[in-house]
């Protein structure tokens, strides 16, 4: 049931996004886990188009926040203002009060403004002038960031980056894919005619079912061992937190459901580990000076953790 429905969503998104099946699948994993997605890549790759295609396919409300150095926290959450007519304070909701929020170029804003999203992402609520308001469900933040090397960017605070379930990169399309993009967008924008294929209520049901996907003890231990191994590697100053363990665990359940299974296999967790863990690692200064990447070091960590064998898993 989940596979049939998500296949429809995937096919709908792929009417607009060309040749990025893995990225679309990972976005759906985040959606099923009620998690948030961080997309890091250069401008013009299709990050905004992906976010809009997801929102259209789900029939969800969509708002885009363009992060800039002068953006204020109240521009994100909303403000209370005094209405001269009614002589009362009223709340004007900010763009975060939406179901799918695109935080575009999030690392161009100051850390203070970035952190305005923290409460929304973790608690699914916002507090303005002491009043707390729940956010609509489903609630998904798709944040895009330019590579840190680009001028005029602020690195995301660790607490903020830890709130993202997965971090992905779109990458440049291949030659034939780029040609297909030109053909598809030659006369009209296919995004404009994209229709919803799933209702919000159906999505909420799928999100509840994903948590029931079976995880054998050996697979659960494998997830924990992978995350713990990031904390003891000599090149890593700060490994993944228990939130990282939960992210990898729930994402593995969602991936199994997307692929038509009611149980998780070790390969689900191993496949997702780079997307769920790499952004949570902080390398020590020596590793950074040597030019070693977090991806390389995480690959070393994962190769050192024994994968549960099939006999153990099925018995």
- What pLDDT does residue 310 have? 61
Determine which helix (DSSP H) or strand (DSSP E) holds 238, and give its type and residue range: strand 236-238
Answer whether 121's CB lies under 8 Å from 101's CB.
Answer: no
Compute φ and ψ for 156, nearest 5 degrees: -70, 140
Answer whether 157's CB lies under 8 Å from 115's CB.
Answer: yes
Residues 198, 199, 203, 209, CA torsion sign: negative
| Domains, the chain, ordered by start | 2-206 (3.40.50.300), 212-314 (1.10.8.80)
The fraction of the chain above a pLDDT of 90, given in percent, is 5
Confidence category of residue 48, pLDDT binned at 50, 70, 90: confident
Q: What is the rounded distance in angstroms from the CA atom of residue 310 to the CA atom of residue 53? A: 38
Tell me: pLDDT of 150 over 70. no
Q: What mean pLDDT comes out for the span 144-171?
A: 77
pTM beyond cutoff 0.75: yes
Greater confidence, 276 or 87? 276
- What pLDDT does residue 149 have? 58
Q: What is the rounded distance in angstroms from the CA atom of residue 69 to the CA atom of residue 67? A: 7
- What pLDDT does residue 315 have? 47
Tell me: pLDDT of 182 over 60. yes
Calculate the CA 114 to chain-centre distance: 16
Q: What mean pLDDT comes out for the span 226-249?
A: 86
Tell me: pLDDT of 161 over 90. no
Tell me: pLDDT of 144 over 80. yes
Answer whether 139's CB lies under 8 Å from 96's CB.
Answer: no
Nearest Cα to Cα of residue 5 among 137, 138, 198, 196: 198
- Coil/strand/helix, residue 135: coil
Q: What is the rounded distance in angstroms from the CA atom of residue 245 to the CA atom of residue 224? A: 6
Confidence category of residue 151, pLDDT binned at 50, 70, 90: low
Q: What is the rounded distance in angstroms from the CA atom of residue 284 to the CA atom of residue 6? A: 40
Q: What is the rounded distance in angstroms from the CA atom of residue 85 to the CA atom of residue 310? A: 70
Count of residues making up the chain: 315
Confidence category of residue 152, pLDDT binned at 50, 70, 90: low
Q: What mean pLDDT comes out for the span 49-53?
A: 84
- What pLDDT does residue 252 have? 93
Greater confidence, 260 or 187? 260
Residue found under tokens 């895009």: 144
Pairing of strands 100-104, 140-145: parallel
- What pLDDT does residue 172 have? 82
Tell me: pLDDT of 44 over 60. yes
Average pLDDT, the chain: 83
Nearest Cα to Cα of residue 46 among 170, 176, 188, 153: 170
């Amino acid at each position: 049931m989940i596979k049939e429905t998500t296949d429809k969503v995937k096919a709908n998104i792929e009417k607009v996004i060309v040749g990025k099946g893995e990225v679309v699948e990972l976005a759906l994993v985040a959606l099923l886990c009620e998690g948030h997605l961080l997309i890091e890549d250069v401008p013009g790759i299709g990050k905004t188009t992906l976010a809009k295609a997801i929102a259209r396919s789900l029939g969800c409300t969509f708002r885009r926040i363009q992060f800039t150095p002068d953006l204020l926290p109240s521009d994100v959450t909303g403000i209370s203002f005094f209405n001269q007519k009614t002589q009362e304070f009223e709340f004007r909701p900010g763009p975060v009060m939406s179901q799918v929020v695109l935080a575009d170029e999030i690392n161009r804003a100051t850390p203070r403004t970035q952190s305005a999203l923290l409460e929304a992402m973790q608690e699914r609520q916002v507090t303005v002038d002491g009043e707390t308001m729940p956010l609509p469900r489903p609630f998904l933040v798709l944040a895009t960031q330019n590579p840190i090397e680009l001028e005029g960017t602020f690195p995301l605070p660790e607490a903020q980056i830890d709130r993202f379930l997965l971090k992905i990169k779109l990458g440049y399309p291949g030659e034939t894919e780029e040609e297909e993009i030109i053909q598809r967008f030659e006369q009209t924008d296919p995004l404009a005619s994209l229709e919803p294929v799933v209702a919000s209520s159906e999505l909420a049901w799928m999100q509840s079912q994903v948590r029931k996907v079976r995880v054998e003890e050996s697979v659960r231990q494998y997830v924990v061992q992978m995350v713990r191994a990031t904390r003891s590697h000599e090149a890593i100053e700060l490994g993944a937190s228990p939130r990282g363990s939960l992210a990898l665990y729930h994402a593995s359940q969602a991936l199994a459901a997307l692929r038509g299974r009611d149980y998780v296999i070790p390969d689900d967790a191993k496949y997702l580990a780079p997307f769920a863990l790499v952004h949570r690692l902080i390398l020590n200064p020596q590793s950074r000076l040597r030019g070693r990447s977090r991806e390389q070091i995480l690959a070393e960590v994962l190769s050192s953790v024994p994968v549960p064998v099939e006999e153990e898993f099925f018995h």
